[in-house]
Amino acid sequence: MTSLIEQAKQKAAYQAVDEHVLPEHRVIGVGSGSTVVHVVARLLQRDPALNAKTVFVPTSFQSRGLLLDGGLTVGDVEQYSNIDVTIDGADEVDAQLNAIKGGGAAHLQEKVVAEAAKKFIIVADFRKDSKVLGEQWTKGVPVEVVPFAWRAVLKKLQALGSSEAKLRMAVAKAGPVVTDNGNFIIDAPFGLIHDPVKVLRDVKLITGVVEVGLFCNMAEVAYFGCEDGSVTVRTK
Ligand SMILES: O=C[C@H](O)[C@H](O)[C@H](O)COP(=O)(O)O
Question: Taking the complete model, does pTM exceed 0.90, yes or no?
Answer: yes
Q: How far apart are CA 160 and CA 162, in angstroms?
A: 6
Work out the average pLDDT over 184-209.
Answer: 98
Whether 19 sits among the annotated catalytic residues: the reply is no
Q: Ligand 1, closest atom to CA 35?
A: 12
Residue type, 81: S
In this predicted complex, what is the ipTM? 0.99
Work out the average pLDDT over 48-74.
Answer: 98
Pocket probe for ligand 1: among 6, 32, 107, 223, the residue whose CB has the most ligand atoms within 8 Å is: 32
> What pLDDT is attached to residue 1?
56
Q: Whose CA is nearest to atom 9 of ligand 1?
A: 90
pLDDT tier, 236 (very low <50, low <70, confident <90, very high otherwise): confident
Q: Whose CA is nearest to atom 8 of ligand 1?
A: 103
Q: Is domain 141-213 annotated with CATH 3.90.230.10?
A: no
> Which residues contact ligand 1 via a Cβ below 6 A?
31-35, 88-91, 101-107, 110
> What pLDDT is attached to residue 2?
74
Domain boundaries, the chain: 4-131+216-235, 141-213
CB 93 within 8 A of CB 215: no
pLDDT at 34 over 60: yes
Summary mean pLDDT of the chain: 98
How many angstroms is it from 107 CA to the middle of ligand 1? 8
Sheet holding 83-88, edge to edge: 73-74, 55-58, 27-30, 83-88, 117-125, 221-225, 231-235
Given the candidates 3.10.180.10, 3.40.50.410, 3.40.50.1360, 3.10.20.740, the CATH classification of the domain at 4-131+216-235 is 3.40.50.1360
pLDDT at 149 over 70: yes
Q: Which of 53, 52, 57, 108 is nearest to 82 (CA)?
A: 57
pLDDT tier, 179 (very low <50, low <70, confident <90, very high otherwise): very high
